[in-house]
Amino acid sequence: MPSANVPSQAIGAPIPNNTPHAVSVTLPTWEATVGYEEGEDWVVTKMNSGYPRFFIHNDIQQLCKLLESSYARENEKCFIFPTYNIAKRCRAFIKEKAKTMNPSLEPAVRILQLSTPSPANSDEESTKIEANIAVVFFPSELFSLAKQYWQHTGEGISSRLGEYFLSEMKTKLQAESNNRSSSSTTSSHSPRTSRSSRSSISLSNMNNKQESATFIEERFGRNLDLRFAKDAKIILRERLASEYDHEYVDKDNVYLYPSGMAAIFNAHRAVLACSDDQDSKTLKSVCFGFPYVDTLNILRKWGAGVHFYGFGDDESLDDLELRLESGERILSLFCEFPSNPLLKTPDIIRIKQLSDKFGFYVVVDDTVGNSRNVNVIPYCDIVVSSLTKIFSGDSNVMAGCMVLNKKGKNYEKLKTFMDEDYEDFFWAQDAIYLERNSRDYQDRSSVMNKNAEAVLKLFLNSPLISKVFYPSVTSLESKKHYDIVKRENGGYGALMSIVFKDQIDAICFFNTIKLSKGPSLGTNFTLVCPYSILAHFKELDEVSKWGVDPNLVRLSIGMEKTEDLISLIDEALKAAQEQHEV
C-alpha cells in the first residue's frame, strides 16, 4: 500500500496519523495494551491522543487548567459541558453517588457559565460563533465520579469546541488567572462572562498545533465556514432519515448528539421521563446481549437498575418471557443489532411481540449492523447509533443520533418529551465535518461488506482460530434473526472478532499485523484491537462467562484493496503459525 497509508507504530500516536481530533489512538502491541490498562509509565506518558470519552483531549485539559486557575476554589477540579442543563445533571450525579459512598457527605458542587463573543459583523460570521460552556467545579477527591459522568454519558464538550474556546478566550482567561494570583484578596467572579466583551486574542497567538491544523484544512480545501453549520445539521438529519423507511421516520424524528453514548443516555432519559413516576423509580430495564460496556453502565447507574441477559439468545428470551408471564414488569429493553464484540443478533421480531404484549420500551443500537445493511426501526421505539463509526468513517469526529419510530406505540409520549427537552449541543464544526465525511457513506459501507466477506474466508480456514464471530457465521440462530431484517442490497457489516486457541498465537498475530491498532470501529481503514484486554482488562474472568474470551481479537474491516488487505492479514497469520510450530 502507499506509504502515506502506512499506520504509525508509535505508542499514543493518533489514528489517523497527524490528525488533531483523531478518534482512535495507536497501541501497537499486546504488551502496550496491557501496559496502558495497568497504567504503566512507559505507555501512559506517551499517550498524546485517545478515544475521547476516556482520554481527555489536550485542548480540553489545557482549558480546564485555565478555568481552574481563574475560578476554582481551594482543592477544586472541573469538567466542562456544552449546556447548563447537562452540567446540572453532572452535578446531581456527583452529589447522589457521593452520598451513596458516604451518607454524611454533602459536597459543594457548583456551575459556572461562560461564552465566547458573538460575531461582531457579517465578515466574522464565517469564522466566529458564540460558543457556550458550563463548567462543573467539585472537590478534587470526587474527580473519579465526575469522570464517570463524562465517560458514561458522552455529554462532555467536544475537542473542537475546546479548541475553539481556547482560541477565543485564552488571553482573557490567562489575564483572569494572573490578576487572581497577584491579588491579595480573592475577588468574586461573575457567574457569566459578558457576551459583549471582546477577546483580544488573534490567530497569531494560537499555538503551533492550531496553526498547523488550520493550514492543513485550507491546503486541502476543508477549511470550515461556520455559516454552514445549521445547514449541515439539516442535511445530516435528512440524510439519516432517508436511511430508514419514510413510513417510520422523517427528519423531525432524528436528533443529533455529540456521541453515540450521548444518544443512548438520552434515549434512557426519555424512557424514564415518559414512564409513570412510580414505574421509572421501581421498574428495571433489560440489557439483552453482551453490549458495549457503557450501555450497561448507564442502565445500572440511572434508574432502578438492570436485568442483564448477557447471552442475548433465544434461550435468554425464553427466560425473559417467563419472567414477564409471571407478572414481573420491566421498563425497557436495550439491545445491539448485532452485538459488539460477539456479533450476536437478537430475535428482534419476538422482542417486539413481547413489548406489545407487556408494554415495555424497546431501544435498538444499530451501530454495528448500520442502517445500510439492516432495517430495525419497525421493531422498536427508538433507534440509537454512533455516527462516529461507519457513517463518518474518517475517525476524526464524534457524533451520534437518536431516531424515533413515528408508528411506535409510545411515539406521542416520546415526541412530546423530545420537543420539550432536546437541546442541540452538537458543536458546529463537528457537524460540518460529519456532513462532509458522510456523503459517500452508502458506497463505503458496500466496499467494507465485500472486504469483510473476503477476510472472513481467511479466518475460517485458519487452524489457529477456535471461533469466528461475524453475523453470517456466529450461529445459525443468530444469522436467521439478522437475515429477517437485512436489506435486499445489504451485507453483514465490517466488524468481526476472532478467538485464538492459544494466547501466544493471538499476541504474535496482533503484534505482527501491519495495520492500524487501537480502539473504535467503522473506520475507512482496517482497525485491529485485542478487545477483551482493552475493554475488560480488570474483569476478564467475569466477561469470559458470557463468551468474551481473553484471546479475542476484533477487526473493523476497512476499504483497502482486497488483495492488499488479505496479504497483510495472511502474513500475520503465517507468522503466528510459524511461532506456534517452533
Of 157, 153, 141, nearest in space to 89 by CA? 153
For residues 205 and 397, give the distance between their C-alpha atoms in angstroms, rounded to a whole number.
25
Q: According to the model, what pLDDT value does residue 220 have?
A: 37
**Where along the chain do its domains lie?**
58-157, 238-438, 441-581
Q: What is the DSSP letter of 529?
A: E
Stated as kind and residue range, the H or E segment containing 132 is strand 132-139
221 band by pLDDT with thresholds 50, 70 and 90:
very low
The DSSP secondary-structure symbol of 371 reads: T
Distance CA 227, CA 229 (A): 6
* Residue in this structure with the C-alpha cell 448507564, named with its chain if needed: 298
Of 47 and 449, the one with more pLDDT: 449
pLDDT for the residue numbered 180? 82
- % of the chain with per-residue pLDDT over 70: 92
The CA distances from residue 220 to 199, 394, 396, in Å, are 29, 15, 15
Dihedral of CA atoms 213, 214, 215, 216 in degrees, nearest 10, equals 50
Is the model's pLDDT at 214 over the cut of 50? no
Residue 216 scores a pLDDT above 60 = no
Averaged pLDDT, 259-267: 98
Partnered with residue 362 across adjacent β-strands are: 333
Q: What is the architecture, at CATH level 2, of domain 441-581?
A: Alpha-Beta Complex (3.90)
Residue 4, pLDDT above cutoff 80? no
Bridge partner residues of 486 (DSSP): 374
More confident residue, 64 or 200: 64
pLDDT band at 5 (very low <50, low <70, confident <90, very high): low
pLDDT digits (tens, 9 = 90+) for 471-502: 999 999 999 999 999 999 999 999 999 999 99
- Nearest CA to 553 out of 508, 506, 493, 521 is that of 506
Tens digits of residue pLDDT in 172-203: 898 888 888 776 444 444 443 333 333 322 22
pLDDT at 3 over 80: no
What CATH number is given for 58-157 in this structure?
Answer: 3.30.300
The whole-angstrom distance between residue 71's C-alpha and the CA centroid of its chain comes to: 30
- Phi, psi of 148, deg, nearest 5: -60, -45
- What is the three-class DSSP state of 139? strand
Extract the C-alpha cell encoding 468.
Answer: 469466528
Peptide bond into 20 cis (omega under 30): no
Mean pLDDT of the 20-41 span = 96
CB atoms within 10 A of CB 265: 26
Q: Does an H or E element contain 357, and which?
A: helix 348-358
CATH pick for 238-438 out of 1.20.1090.10, 3.40.640.10, 1.10.10.10, 3.40.50.720: 3.40.640.10
pLDDT category, 223, cuts 50, 70, 90? low
Q: How far apart are CA 459 and CA 204, in angstroms?
A: 53
Q: Is 219 exposed, middle or buried (0-12, 13-18, 19+ CB in 10 A)?
A: exposed
For residue 51, what pLDDT is reported?
86
Stretch 24-31: mean pLDDT? 96
Is pLDDT at 571 greater than 70 in this prediction? Answer: yes
Considering the entire predicted model, what is its pTM?
0.92
pLDDT bracket for residue 280 (50, 70, 90): confident
pLDDT, tens only, 394-446: 999 999 999 999 999 999 999 999 999 999 999 999 999 999 999 999 999 99
Average pLDDT over residues 4-15: 82
Q: Rounded CA gap, 58 and 64, in Å?
A: 10
**Neighbour count for residue 226 (Cβ, 10 Å):** 19
Residue corresponding to grid cell 485542548 = 59
Look at the block and give the residue holding cell 496519523.
Answer: 17
Q: What pLDDT shows up at residue 177?
A: 82
- The pLDDT of residue 582 is above 90: no
Helix (H) or strand (E) holding 495: strand 495-500
- 295-351 pLDDT, tens digit per residue, is 999 999 999 999 999 999 999 999 999 999 999 999 999 999 999 999 999 999 999
pLDDT at 174: 86
Arithmetic mean of pLDDT over the chain = 91
The answer to whether residue 208 scores a pLDDT higher than 90 is no
